Amino acid sequence: MTKKRSPNGEKDTARAALRAVNERSKRENREYGIWIFVQAHEFHAGEPFTSALADGLSESDLLRELAKIPKSAKRVAFAHTHGGEGGGYLSTHFTPEDIEFGRLFSVNLYLATPNDQLVIFRLSDRSGDFKYEKL
């Protein structure tokens, strides 16, 4: 696994990783995922991956990429794109399945939308509201 080291925090690491892949995701209309983890007090982004699906990532691909995180690291977030507009899913905000995934894996979520917004779900935020920022 190639790690992309970031001197910044979790959100900045997720934002940089999503910026690097969002245009490709939109062009291909494919969802891409990236695990964010912390190791030795530094945040890292794993390699972007896709299951070549317009509306999701397969469980086997998610688990394969998760297994690449070093044993000494702690997963803290999952970042993903929603491809291009349409595709039969909610492209500009988290789906119920996204939120369920975050809770199941106990990670914060970051989403890059087709209109270049960064949507944030903090596991600790029980309000159900999402924060929107410029990607």
Q: Please check whether residue 60 is in contact with residue 10, taking contact to mean a CB–CB distance below 8 angstroms.
A: no
- Tens digits of pLDDT across the chain (135 residues): 555 555 579 999 999 999 999 999 989 888 999 999 999 999 999 999 999 876 789 999 999 999 999 999 999 999 999 887 765 456 788 888 889 999 999 999 999 999 999 999 998 887 767 898 999
Q: State pTM to two decimals.
A: 0.89
- Please report the pLDDT score of residue 9 as a whole number: 93
DSSP annotation of 104 reads: H
- Domains identified in the chain and CATH numbers: 4-134 (3.40.140)
Q: Please check whether residue 104 is in contact with residue 135, taking contact to mean a CB–CB distance below 8 angstroms.
A: no
Distance in angstroms (rounded) separating the CA atoms of residues 109 and 123: 8
* Amino acid type, 66: L
Q: Please check whether residue 27 is in contact with residue 65, taking contact to mean a CB–CB distance below 8 angstroms.
A: no
For 52, the 3-state DSSP assignment is coil
For 66, the 3-state DSSP assignment is helix
